[in-house]
Every structure is written in structure tokens, then in C-alpha cells.
Amino acid sequence: MEKNQKHDPLWDVYHSSLGERDGVAVINISKNSVSSSLLNNLPQLTESAPEASFITQEEIKIAKLDTLFDSLQLNGKKIYLKIDTQGYEEKVLEGAVNSLSKIKGIQIEMAFIPSYEGALTYETIKQKLEGFGFKLMAIENGFYDKKTGKQLEVDGIFYKP
């Protein structure tokens, strides 16, 4: 990411995972890298995508968005937050309770059938975001089982009116 950031003065890179606390965490690294998660996977994930199996673990920094938000100097700007954290979306929201009042739009991964232990379902994430004043405006296709065609996850796009 640093390589890409060097060519764009408006892009800042932070080496931290977002979550419900400040500190360190252990992330499970997947073979395909895009399925890496702070949560353990469920059989559904590797059945539909064998390349998503975990091959190692790594200690990483984790921080609440509420801790970082003011240092980002975003006050007065229209903020669009993308959350794609492989089942850890609830924890990101828990660490962003104060920041959510300053965010206009959120794109978030939502599972119809969870791929990770403890991941929230589509309905629960939708209810949580509605509780913060966001309205679901669009849904984009996401991860699906290539063998069965079953839709497993979608991205929900939420905005505050």
C-alpha cells in the first residue's frame, strides 16, 4: 500500500486493524490473503473457497476508530466508511460508536450465511446501523458459493438522510 500511497498525496496508510479496542490482536492469515480474519473460520468458508483456509497467524496492532478519528482531521467532511473485515464488522462498529455520528455513508460486508465464528448476519448488521440513524440504500453482490450459486455475503450501502 505504501507504494501506491507515494503517488497520491491525499492517501494516508495506517498499519492497524480496526476493532473494539486498542492494543494487539492475532490475525489468521489465509492462503488467498483476502480471507484473513481476526475470527476463526467456519466450514462454510473453506467448503466454498478452499483457498481461504488459514495457513499461519500474525500479531497485529488493533485500534478503535474512535481513538483514531480526530487525528485523521476529517471534521466537517462527508465521510464514507468501507468496512470489509471478514466477520469482524460488529467489533469495528463497537469501536466507532462516537465516530459514527460524523460519518455520512457506510459500505459494509453482511453475511446471509456466516463464514466466520461470531460474525453477525445481514439482519443484525442492518438493525444495528439503523439504530445509528443509517438507512439501507443499496446492496451489491458479494461472496457466493461457486459450486451451488448460493449467495453467502453482500455489501450493504447505508446513508444517513
Q: What pLDDT does 147 receive?
A: 84
All cell numbers assigned to 107: 459500505
Three-state helix/strand/coil letters over the chain: CHHHHCCCCCCCCCCCEECCCCEEEEEEEECCCCCCECCCECHHHHHHCHHHCEEEEEEEEEECHHHHHHHHCCCCCCCEEEECCCCCHHHHHHCCCCHHHHCCEEEEEEECCCCECCCCEHHHHHHHHHHCCCEEEEEEECCECCCCCCECEEEEEEECC
All cell numbers assigned to 40: 476463526
Q: What pLDDT does 4 receive?
A: 66
Mean pLDDT of successive 10-residue stretches along the chain, which has 161 residues: 72 87 97 94 89 95 95 88 96 97 96 93 96 97 86 95 88
Question: Closest by alpha carbon to 108, among 47, 25, 46, 18?
Answer: 18
Q: What pLDDT does 10 receive?
A: 79
pLDDT in tens, 68-104: 998 888 878 899 999 999 999 999 999 999 999 999 9
Structure pTM? 0.90
Give dist(CA 49, CA 54) in Å, integer: 11
Cβ pair 110, 122 in contact under 8 A: yes
Give dist(CA 52, CA 55) in Å, integer: 9
Give dist(CA 38, CA 21) in Å, integer: 13
